C-alpha cells in the first residue's frame, strides 16, 4: 500500500515538474499547450472565441548583463508574480521561454478586449523592480490571436500570436498587436519574395544600377552610388526598400551584396580612374566579421582599386554591435576603402558616434534637402551639419536634390557634394557608360572652346 501510494505521489510530482517552470513556479510551455488543447476540445460544441497571447520582455538581456544573472532571475520571478496576480480565476499564464510568457483568456472574445487586457499587462510590468539596492524598469511587447473556428489547432493559434508579437516588436517597445488576416497575407507575400529572391541571387539576377554624385560647384561627376535592382519574372520589379529588408531578415543579404558588389566593380573598372564607386552595407552585415573579408576577396578578384571604393553605412548599422562595426570599418579603411555615414539625420543620430568612429564622408538625408527651400529648421540643420563636417574634416554629400533652387541654396551654404534626380537617376551599367561617354565628350568640347 505504502509503496504504491509513494509511487503515485512520485509520479504526480514528476508530472508536475514536467509541466512547471522551476524558476518562477508558473506552468511551462507544455502546460500552456495542454491548457489550450483542452480548451479547444471543450469549445468544439461551443462557438465562443477565446484569446491566447505571448508576452516578451523588451530589453531584458541588457538588464541581465548589467545587473547579473541572479538579479535577472529575481526580476523574472517578480514578473511572474505580477502576471499571476493579474489573472482571474479562468485565465492562465505560463513561462514559455527565457523572457517569454504566454497567457490564455478563455472569456476574452474580441480583438479590442484582447488588446485592452494586453495593455493592462504591459502597464503592470512597467512599474519599477527591486534589484538589491537598485531598481530596474522593463517594458514588454505582446502578440495575441483569437480562436474562432474549430479547424484551428493550438500550434496554429500560437504561431499566429508569435507572428503578431513579431510585428509588435518590429514597431517598437511596449506595443500590442492582435493577429489579423492581412498579417497572414503580408507574411505569405514576404515568403514569396524571399523564395524568389533566393533563386534570383543564385542565378545572378540582381543588378547594380548607378547614380551620379557630383561636385556641386562644377557639376562634374565625381563618383557613383551603387543601388541594387531586381525584376522577377512573376513579381515584376521589386523595389530595394522592399527586398533589402527581407534579404536582411532572412539571411540572404550577404550573398546578395557580394553579387551586386562583384558586378558593380566589374562595371566600374572601365570608368575613368578618378571616379569613385560607393556601395551600401546593411546593418546586419556590420555584425558579421566575414563582411570585410568578402569585400576584399571580391576586389581582389575583379582587380578594382580599394582606394576607389566607398562603403555607406547608417547609424542603425553602428548601434547593434558598435565593437563589431568598428572592427569591420577599421579592416576596410586599412586597405584604403573610404567610409561614409549614410542618411544622416534620420536615425537615432548620436553625435557621440561621430567622435568614436572616423568617417570620411557624411550624406545628408533627402528629408532635409527636400524641405530646404520652405522650412527654416531644415535650413538651420543643414548649415549646422555642414559646419560640423568642416570641423571634423569630413566630406559632405547632400542626397535627393531634385531642383536647381535646392542645389543653389546648398552651394550658397558651402555644401560641396550632391546627388539626386536633378543630376541623374540610377541607371544600369550600359547606360552609365553611355552617360560617361557623353560627359567625356562634353568635357572635350569645353576644352576645345
Q: Which residues bind ligand C2E (CB under 6 A)?
A: 211, 226-228, 239-241, 244, 257, 260, 280-282, 312, 342-343, 366, 399-402, 419-421, 426
Nearer to ligand C2E, 77 or 275 (CB): 275
Smallest gap, in angstroms, from Cβ of residue 39 to ligand C2E? Answer: 45
DSSP 382-395: HHHHHHHHHHHT-E
CB of 134 to ligand C2E, least distance (A): 40
**Angle at the Cα of 82 (from 77 to 84), degrees rounded to 5?**
90
Q: Pick between residue 280 and residue 291 the one whose CB is nearest to Mg ion.
A: 280
| Min separation Cβ 256 and ligand C2E, Å | 7
Residues 96 and 28: beta-carbon distance below 8 Å: yes
Minimum distance from residue 353 beta carbon to Mg ion (Å):
16
Considering only residues 338 to 357 of the shown chain, the ones binding Mg ion according to CB under 5 A are 342-343
By a kind-dependent CB cut-off of 5 to 8 A, residue 27 interacts, out of ligand C2E, Mg ion, none, with: none
Distances (CA, A) of 168 to 209, 250, 320, 402: 34, 18, 19, 36
280 lines the binding site for Mg ion (CB under 5 A): yes
Backbone angles phi, psi at 324, to 5 degrees: -65, -45
The 10 Å CB-count burial string (b at 16+, else e) for 128-149 is ebebeeeebebbbbbbbbbbee
Q: How far apart are CA 289 and CA 257, in angstroms?
A: 15
Least spacing, CB of residue 363 vs Mg ion, in Å: 5
Task: Answer with the entry of ligand C2E, Mg ion, none that 228 interacts with (C-beta below 5 to 8 A by kind).
Answer: ligand C2E
The pattern of x and - marking residues 88 through 127 that bind Mg ion according to CB under 5 A reads ----------------------------------------
Per partner kind, with CB cut-offs from 5 to 8 A, the member of ligand C2E, Mg ion, none near residue 58 is: none
Helix, strand and coil content of the chain, in percent to the nearest 5, comes to: 50, 20, 25
- Degrees to nearest 5, angle at CA 395 with 358 and 378: 105
**Looking at beta carbons only, is 74 or 343 nearer to Mg ion?**
343
How near is the Cβ of 343 to Mg ion at its closest, in Å? Answer: 4
Q: Residue 180 or 403: which CB sits closer to ligand C2E?
A: 403
Q: What residues contact residue 53 under an 8 Å CB cut-off, 6+ apart?
A: 102, 103, 104, 105, 114, 117, 118, 142, 143, 144, 145, 161
Site for Mg ion, residues 384 to 403, rule: CB under 5 A: 399
Exposure string (b/e) for 410-447, b if CB count within 10 Å is 16 or more?
Answer: beebebbbbbbebbbebbebeebeebbeebeeeeeeee
At residue 409's C-alpha, the angle toward residues 406 and 414, to 5°, is: 125
In this structure, are strands 50-58 and 100-105 parallel, antiparallel, or unpaired? Answer: antiparallel
**Binding partner of 420, given Mg ion, ligand C2E, none, CB within 5-8 angstroms per partner class:** ligand C2E
* Residues belonging to the chain: 449
Of the pair 99, 365, the CB lying nearest ligand C2E is at 365
Q: Candidates 28-36, 118-126, 153-161, 274-282: pick the segment binding Mg ion (CB under 5 A).
A: 274-282
Question: Which segment (12-20, 89-97, 136-144, 337-345) binds Mg ion by CB under 5 A?
Answer: 337-345
Strand, helix or coil for residue 354: helix
Question: Taking the complex as a whole, how short is the minimal distance between the CB of residue 360 and ligand C2E, in angstroms?
Answer: 16
21 binds, among Mg ion, ligand C2E, none (CB under 5 to 8 A by kind): none
Q: How far is the CB of 199 from ligand C2E (least distance, A)?
A: 18
Q: Where does this chain bind Mg ion (CB under 5 A)?
A: 280, 312, 342-343, 399
Amino acid at each position: 500500500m505504502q509503496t504504491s501510494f509513494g509511487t503515485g505521489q512520485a509520479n504526480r510530482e514528476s508530472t508536475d515538474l514536467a509541466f512547471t517552470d522551476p524558476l518562477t513556479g508558473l506552468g511551462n510551455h507544455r502546460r500552456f499547450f495542454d491548457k489550450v488543447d483542452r480548451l479547444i476540445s471543450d469549445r468544439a460544441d461551443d462557438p465562443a472565441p477565446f484569446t491566447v497571447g505571448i508576452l516578451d520582455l523588451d530589453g531584458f538581456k541588457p538588464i541581465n548583463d548589467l545587473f547579473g544573472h541572479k538579479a535577472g532571475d529575481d526580476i523574472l520571478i517578480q514578473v511572474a508574480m505580477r502576471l499571476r496576480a493579474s489573472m482571474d480565476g479562468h485565465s492562465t499564464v505560463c513561462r514559455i521561454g527565457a523572457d517569454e510568457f504566454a497567457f490564455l483568456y478563455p472569456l476574452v472574445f474580441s480583438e479590442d478586449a484582447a488588446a485592452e487586457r494586453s495593455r493592462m499587462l504591459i502597464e503592470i510590468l512597467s512599474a519599477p523592480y527591486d534589484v538589491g539596492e537598485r531598481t530596474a524598469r522593463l517594458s514588454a511587447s505582446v502578440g495575441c490571436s483569437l480562436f474562432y473556428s474549430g479547424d484551428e489547432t493550438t500550434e496554429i493559434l500560437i504561431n499566429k500570436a508569435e507572428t503578431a508579437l513579431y510585428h509588435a516588436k518590429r514597431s517598437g517597445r511596449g506595443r500590442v498587436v492582435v493577429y489579423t488576416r492581412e498579417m497572414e497575407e503580408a507574411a505569405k507575400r514576404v515568403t514569396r519574395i524571399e523564395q524568389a529572391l533566393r533563386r534570383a541571387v543564385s542565378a545572378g539576377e540582381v543588378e547594380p544600377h548607378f547614380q551620379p554624385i557630383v561636385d556641386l560647384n562644377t557639376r562634374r561627376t565625381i563618383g557613383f552610388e551603387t543601388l541594387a535592382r531586381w525584376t522577377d519574372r512573376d513579381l515584376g520589379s521589386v523595389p530595394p526598400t522592399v527586398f533589402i529588408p527581407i534579404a536582411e531578415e532572412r539571411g540572404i543579404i550577404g550573398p546578395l551584396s557580394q553579387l551586386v558588389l562583384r558586378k558593380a566593380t566589374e562595371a566600374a573598372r572601365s570608368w575613368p580612374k578618378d571616379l569613385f564607386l560607393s556601395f551600401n552595407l546593411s546593418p546586419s552585415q556590420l555584425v558579421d566579421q566575414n563582411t570585410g573579408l568578402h569585400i576584399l576577396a571580391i576586389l581582389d578578384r575583379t582587380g578594382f582599386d580599394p582606394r576607389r571604393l566607398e562603403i555607406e553605412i547608417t547609424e542603425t548599422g553602428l548601434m547593434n554591435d558598435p565593437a563589431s562595426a568598428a572592427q569591420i570599418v577599421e579592416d576596410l579603411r586599412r586597405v584604403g576603402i573610404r567610409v561614409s555615414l549614410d542618411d544622416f539625420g534620420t536615425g537615432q543620430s548620436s553625435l557621440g558616434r561621430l567622435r568614436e568612429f572616423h568617417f570620411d564622408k557624411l550624406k545628408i538625408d533627402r528629408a532635409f534637402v527636400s524641405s530646404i527651400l520652405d522650412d527654416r529648421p531644415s535650413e538651420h540643420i543643414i548649415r549646422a551639419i555642414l559646419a560640423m563636417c568642416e570641423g571634423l574634416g569630413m566630406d559632405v554629400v547632400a542626397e535627393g536634390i531634385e531642383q536647381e533652387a535646392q542645389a543653389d541654396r546648398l552651394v550658397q551654404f558651402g555644401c560641396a557634394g550632391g546627388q539626386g534626380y536633378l543630376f541623374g537617376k540610377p541607371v544600369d551599367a550600359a547606360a552609365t557608360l553611355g552617360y560617361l561617354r557623353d560627359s567625356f565628350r562634353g568635357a572635350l568640347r569645353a576644352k576645345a572652346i
